[in-house]
């Protein structure tokens, strides 16, 4: 399914902040009940899933302009949140805040790396499909200006040249059915 939504910068960054704030709130308040801590932890996990889903959507969106300014901003913000979480972790005194801070640092760094890798893959795929300037995927045969793709292990690949040369003849594979096989006699 094609993504219809446009580029968004604030959603990735906002979700990242909500995840971090909720996770820290789950362990920072020492007056919380166990139920409130567990509930805030589950909420942080749910928002973490939403962050990953939005990051995936933003990275896999199809665009003709390639890597754009908003991609750089999303990457810089995710990197900044990872750095901010690391700084907050170093300055935190209680052990449970340090554990959550390290988890957030790792999670932000992984999401940032995932965004960059997925965006580069999408851009490379778009360039191959739309612009024709990318590399030809393995499993394709080329001849002249025509490209014919064949799945791996589907038999020999035949490329039909787009010109009217004598080598443009393609022989069809026909199976011979023996006499009387599958024919009813009435």
Average pLDDT by consecutive 10-residue portion of the chain (186 residues)?
Answer: 64 88 84 85 93 91 82 92 92 87 94 94 73 48 44 48 46 55 56
Length, in residues, of the chain: 186
Coil, strand or helix at 15: helix
User: Which pLDDT score, from 0 to 100, does residue 142 have?
Assistant: 45
User: Which pLDDT score, from 0 to 100, does residue 150 have?
Assistant: 43
Tokens of residue 84, six digits: 């901010």
Q: List the chain domain ranges.
A: 10-131
Cα–Cα distances (Å) from 128 to 6, 123, 132, 140, 151, in that order, read 22, 9, 5, 13, 17
| Residue 9 CB neighbours (<10 A) | 15
User: Which pLDDT score, from 0 to 100, does residue 169 have?
Assistant: 45
Coil, strand or helix at 183: coil
User: Which pLDDT score, from 0 to 100, does residue 180 have?
Assistant: 59
Query: CA-CA distance, 90 to 78, in Å (whole number)?
Result: 19
Query: CA-CA distance, 110 to 107, in Å (whole number)?
Result: 5
User: Which pLDDT score, from 0 to 100, does residue 4 have?
Assistant: 58
| Residue 171 CB neighbours (<10 A) | 6
Coil, strand or helix at 140: strand
Q: Token match 């995927």: residue?
A: 137
């Amino acid at each position: 399914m094609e993504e219809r939504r446009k580029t968004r910068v604030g959603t990735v960054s906002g979700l990242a902040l909500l995840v971090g704030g909720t996770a820290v709130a789950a362990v920072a308040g020492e007056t919380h009940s166990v139920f409130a801590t567990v509930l805030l932890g589950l909420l942080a996990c749910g928002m973490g899933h939403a962050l990953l889903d939005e990051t995936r959507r933003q990275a896999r969106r199809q665009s003709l302009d390639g890597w754009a300014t908003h991609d750089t901003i999303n990457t810089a913000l995710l990197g900044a949140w990872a750095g901010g979480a690391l700084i907050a972790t170093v300055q935190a005194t209680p052990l449970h805040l340090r554990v959550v801070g390290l988890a957030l640092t790792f999670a932000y760094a992984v999401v940032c790396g995932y965004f960059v890798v997925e965006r580069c893959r999408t851009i490379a795929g778009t360039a191959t499909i739309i612009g024709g300037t990318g590399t030809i995927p393995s499993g394709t045969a080329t001849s002249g200006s025509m490209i014919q793709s064949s799945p791996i292990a589907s038999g020999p690949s035949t490329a039909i040249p787009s010109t009217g040369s004598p080598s443009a003849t393609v022989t069809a594979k026909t199976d011979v059915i023996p006499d009387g096989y599958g024919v009813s006699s009435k």
